[in-house]
Amino acid sequence: MTDIESVYAIPSIAAERLLSAHDGDVALLYLYSLAHPGALDREAAAGALCRTLRDIESAEEKLRRLALPAADGAAPAQASAPAAARRTVTVTPREEPTAAQTPPQFGAETIVRRVRESPELEALFQESDAILGRHTTKEEMALLLDLHDGYGLPVDVLLMLLHYCEERFERDGHRKPPYRWVYAEGKHWAELEIHTIDMADAHIRHLGELQESVSQVQHLLGLQERRLAASERRYIQSWLELGFPIESIAIAYDRTVTNTGRLKWPYMDTILRSWHEKKLHTPAEIDAAEPRRQGGTEPRRTAPDKAVNTEALDTLINSI
């Protein structure tokens, strides 16, 4: 069998993380490792990939931090392998973190070396200290470093992420954002491919407008005296993202209370999603397709009068 007859199958999780890393050297080295199983010969890899030895060492370390499925010793799939093994990988948004997605741990020596290599990273950690009001722990530095090296978020975008998270938690009555939450939000930014200051600024403005709309709906529902539960906030945000203006949500609320006697989130959600499926979003569209009854409930219908049996009536009178 010749080399051209071999197909190297890349696990989907590996493809996803390589794409998120936005680092061509890392991707090339991973492919090289697949084609050359066994212990990595750094000098041979540098020559084959037209890279310096330092480039190869840096890419090798980033590969370790990405925690990809082991490339060493991976055997190439044969050309006759099932189609499922050769299918095009579809990158889907990440769900809740799983064991495979747990960020790799960075040793103190690695963190110190990365800071020495990059003054920008040093400035990032200093800003993190200022936000927290204390020294950023090694574990917190590792999360920020993984967002930078593993997910490809530039330092200036990470600075905006930190300040956004700080303002968000202060608005919600918390003192400081937990870094696990910062890490999850950062991964979401990476999924949205937010890699410039302008993109981050536009995203933050959108989130601010969304929060303002959520507050208006909260006031409409009479819930302004308390904080929304997470499930309630998700309902409201989903309605807004479906394209419903506040006035249409008010109509759905009115019909929910009229029909059930109180606010029932699933019932109201059913109404709005039904309108969305029918492409009814504005109050005019809704009232034209499903007009509200005027004057309250319809009068109760009574049974029609029965015809009088005169013969039976005469018989009854004569017998008296």
**What percent of the chain lies above the pLDDT cut of 90?**
22
Q: Is residue 304 part of a domain?
A: no
Contact 150, 64 (CB under 8 A): no
Extract the tokens encoding 71: 């490339």
- For residue 1, the surrounding DSSP H or E stretch is none
Say yes or no: 190 and 220 in one domain. Answer: no
Task: State the Cα–Cα distance between residues 6 and 12, nearest whole angstrom.
Answer: 19
The three-class DSSP label of residue 282 is: coil
The reply to whether 302 falls in a domain is no
Residue where a domain terminates, one of 41, 62, 81: 81
In a domain, 177, yes or no: yes
Amino acid (1-letter code) at residue 296: G
Q: Is the pLDDT of residue 88 over 70?
A: no
The pTM (predicted TM-score) of the whole model is 0.51
pLDDT digits (tens, 9 = 90+) for 97-121: 333 345 556 677 888 888 888 888 8
One domain, residues 163 and 232: no
Residue 266 within a domain:
yes
Residues 112 and 165 in one domain: yes
Domain total in the chain: 3
| pLDDT at residue 253, rounded to an integer | 94
Answer whether residue 306 is part of any domain: no
Does residue 265 form part of some domain?
yes
Q: Residue 190 falls within a domain, yes or no?
A: yes
In a domain? residue 166: yes
Task: Report helix angle 53-66 to 138-149, nearest 10.
Answer: 110
Q: Which residues pair with 7 in a beta bridge?
A: 77
Taking the C-alpha atoms of residue 273 and residue 89, their distance in angstroms, rounded to an integer, is 32
- Alpha helices by DSSP H, listed for 221-245, are 230-241
State which H helix or E strand residue 90 sits in.
Answer: none
Spatial contact of 248 and 275, defined as CB atoms under 8 Å apart? yes
> Is the predicted pLDDT of residue 20 greater than 80, yes or no?
no
Same-domain status, 185 and 220: no
pLDDT confidence band for 199 (50 / 70 / 90): very high
User: Higher model confidence: residue 121 or residue 80?
Assistant: 121
Same domain, 46 and 117: no
Percent of the chain with pLDDT over 70: 72
Range of the domain at 125: 108-195
Cβ burial, residue 148 (10 Å; 0-12/13-18/19+):
buried
Is 27 in contact with 11 (CB distance < 8 Å)? no
Residues in a beta bridge with 77: 7
- How many whole angstroms separate alpha carbon 153 and alpha carbon 149? 8
